[in-house]
């Protein structure tokens, strides 16, 4: 897998977040040339070969990000749509602006990035795109209605775009993480962490590296016959009965 990724230029959006930074570091360690997208004001991302600063709420940002990657490195072989927002708002209190922001960042930006990356990839006849979705795309949580809807749509987007981009040699897949550990999570949500660890068959939270390894697989030639799928990375939690 290392040798395959050493030949790859991969764009990672939201590269300064917990998952984004883990994905960037892992792909760079495998030899990929990583172009990291960051928000305005973010610090540089460790492991990235180059950085593109852009606000994904800006409709022009996706085209600018892909164009900068091609300009700097001559091609784009992979894209990881990792950027996203996850506010907690009760269903009845979600404003129009909050709903629209969720869709703009979590779904529309990924759609436009996929379109722009696919145009660059079509010229070389190959490419791999990975959406970071969520297990909430199939099982919503309280206060996350707009987030769950955006992730469900992202899973279907992977399938729909895989169907139409396959003839150009471009694969599109989604990765749906479960509960991923982060600094302070056990203090902020001790009951949720305890419940997850007690119920998940593998008995632990996920890590950024768990998600990064899934992305590396889907980006590599090891997954050359895998497209339109949703790879669930949740330690088996989705196998648990709700009753």
State how far the Cα of 198 lies from the Cα of 240, in Å rounded to an integer.
11
DSSP H helical segments within 166-229, as ranges? Answer: 185-188, 190-199, 208-219
Residue pair 18/34 in contact (Cβ under 8 Å)? The answer is no
State how far the Cα of 20 lies from the Cα of 25, in Å rounded to an integer.
9
The backbone region for 138, taken as left when phi is positive above 0, alpha when psi lies in -120 to 50, beta otherwise, is alpha
Catalytic residue from among 147, 173, 179, 227: 147
Q: Determine whether 217 is an active site residue.
A: no
Token pair in block for residue 58:
């800006």
Residues serving a catalytic function are 147
């Amino acid at each position: 897998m290392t040798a395959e990724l050493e030949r790859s230029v991969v764009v990672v959006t939201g590269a300064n977040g917990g998952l984004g930074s883990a994905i960037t570091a892992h792909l760079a360690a495998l030899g990929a040339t990583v172009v990291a997208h960051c928000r305005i004001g973010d610090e540089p991302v460790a492991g990235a070969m180059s950085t593109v600063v852009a606000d994904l709420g800006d409709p022009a940002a996706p085209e600018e990000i892909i164009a900068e990657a091609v300009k700097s490195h001559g091609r784009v072989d992979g894209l990881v749509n990792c950027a996203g927002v996850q506010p907690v708002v009760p269903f009845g209190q979600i404003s129009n602006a909050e709903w629209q922001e969720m869709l703009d960042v979590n779904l529309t930006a990924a759609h436009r990035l996929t379109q722009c990356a696919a145009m660059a990839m079509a010229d070389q006849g190959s490419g791999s795109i990975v959406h970071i979705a969520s297990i909430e795309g199939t099982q919503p949580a309280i206060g996350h209605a707009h987030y769950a809807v955006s992730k469900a749509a992202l899973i279907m987007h992977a399938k729909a775009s895989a169907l139409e981009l396959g003839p150009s040699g471009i694969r599109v897949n989604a990765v749906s993480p479960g509960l991923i550990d982060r600094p302070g999570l056990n203090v902020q949500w001790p009951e949720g962490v305890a419940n997850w660890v007690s119920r998940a068959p593998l008995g632990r939270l996920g890590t950024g590296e768990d998600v990064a390894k899934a992305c590396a697989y889907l980006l590599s030639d090891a997954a050359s016959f895998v497209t339109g799928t949703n790879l669930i990375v949740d330690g088996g939690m989705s196998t648990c009965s709700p009753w």
